[in-house]
Amino acid sequence: MKKLTKIMLAMLTISPFFIQTVFADVIYEREIGCYVVREDDDHFVSDANAFLKHFWSGVTRNDKRWSVGQYYWNYPRLFMEDHQSFVDKMDLALVRAHGANYLISTLKNCCDVIHFKDCPGYGDYAASNGDLEFLIIGACSPLPAPPDAGYADVPNWFKTSNGDATGIFQGLHQLMSFRTGASGGASPNYYDEFGERLAQGNAVMFSWFDALNVTRNHHGGGEYPGYGSAISADGLTGDTLFVYGADPDSIHNGQGYTIFWQE
């Protein structure tokens, strides 16, 4: 599934008393992609930079090394017809954009819209045999939760517009986003906090919620900077970047998913 940064042949040492085989470490590369709305406020880029700075030099723990593989202005094709070369080529994708229930814009707060119910499946079990495990959509309200009016349409995440089951979840472990409006350029910056927590080896989904709470508590509580939401495959809620379970196969074995949210 992944490429290896280095594989060294075993060295065989022979003595009269023992035979010892020494293996070099094998490090598996993991890549982060970041995609930012075009022609909009500078804080979208600032937020992306705040997250990516924790991975520019690469972070290695256990047998995995995470680094930045892509950083582009966003276009619909990166999630649609060219997704195999972009978002689904990455292991984690972070998006900064404007949004609404089940969609984001890639140009300003209006145009070149991505409707996620029209997107192909992401992950190892997709027809295209993709790679994405974690998707973070930093935008206003793409992922409504049970308290929200748009929650009745949550199956949009699991069915494409032509009725194909599972939608984008075809090996994808977790989706994290907002159920409410989302304030960009917040201080302290929750994208900075989120990136730091991930690099330290904390659970991905809970790091998202914890990072939002750091900014929220700094401002005395309340909704600011927005209430987060997430969907996780059952049994994988504790996934970290460095220790995570097998890709969920909702197509063949009915892998379940659970929605989580703040309020």
pLDDT digit string (tens) for 217-241? 999 999 999 999 999 999 999 999 9
Q: How far apart are CA 10 and CA 151, in angstroms?
A: 55
Most confident region among 8-17, 154-163, 196-205 by mean pLDDT: 196-205
Inform me whether the pLDDT recorded for 11 exceeds 50. Answer: no
Nearest Cα residue to 181 out of 121, 138, 123, 133: 138
Average pLDDT (208-224) is 96
Inform me whether the pLDDT recorded for 1 exceeds 50. Answer: no
Average pLDDT (94-123) is 95
- Using a 10 angstrom Cβ sphere, with 0-12 exposed, 13-18 middle and 19 or more buried, the burial of residue 61 is middle
pLDDT for the residue numbered 162: 58
Nearest Cα residue to 51 out of 236, 180, 186: 186
Nearest Cα residue to 134 out of 203, 209, 70, 80: 203
Q: What SS3 string covers 112-131?
A: EEEEHHHCCCECCCCCCCCC
pLDDT for the residue numbered 82: 96
pLDDT confidence band for 150 (50 / 70 / 90): confident
pLDDT for the residue numbered 28: 95
Inform me whether the pLDDT recorded for 175 exceeds 80. Answer: yes
Inform me whether the pLDDT recorded for 10 exceeds 70. Answer: no
pLDDT for the residue numbered 250: 63
pLDDT for the residue numbered 149: 87
pTM recorded for the entire structure: 0.88
Average pLDDT (128-155) is 89
Inform me whether the pLDDT recorded for 23 exceeds 70. Answer: no
pLDDT for the residue numbered 165: 59
Yes or no: say if 185 and 178 are a contact pair by the CB < 8 Å rule.
no
Within 8 A by CB and 6+ apart from 23, the residues are 8, 10
Nearest Cα residue to 34 out of 56, 3, 64: 56
Instruction: Please report, rounded to a whole number, the percentage of residues in the chain having pLDDT higher than 70.
Output: 84
- DSSP alpha helices (H): ranges in 128-239? 190-199, 204-218
pLDDT for the residue numbered 126: 75
Which domains, and CATH codes, for the chain?
Answer: 29-261 (3.40.50)
pLDDT for the residue numbered 167: 81
Higher pLDDT, 129 or 240: 240
Q: How far apart are CA 178 and CA 226, in angstroms?
A: 7
pLDDT for the residue numbered 164: 57
Inform me whether the pLDDT recorded for 146 exceeds 80. Answer: yes
pLDDT for the residue numbered 163: 56
pLDDT for the residue numbered 157: 73
Yes or no: say if 132 and 204 are a contact pair by the CB < 8 Å rule.
no
pLDDT for the residue numbered 5: 32
Nearest Cα residue to 111 out of 75, 83, 135, 142: 75
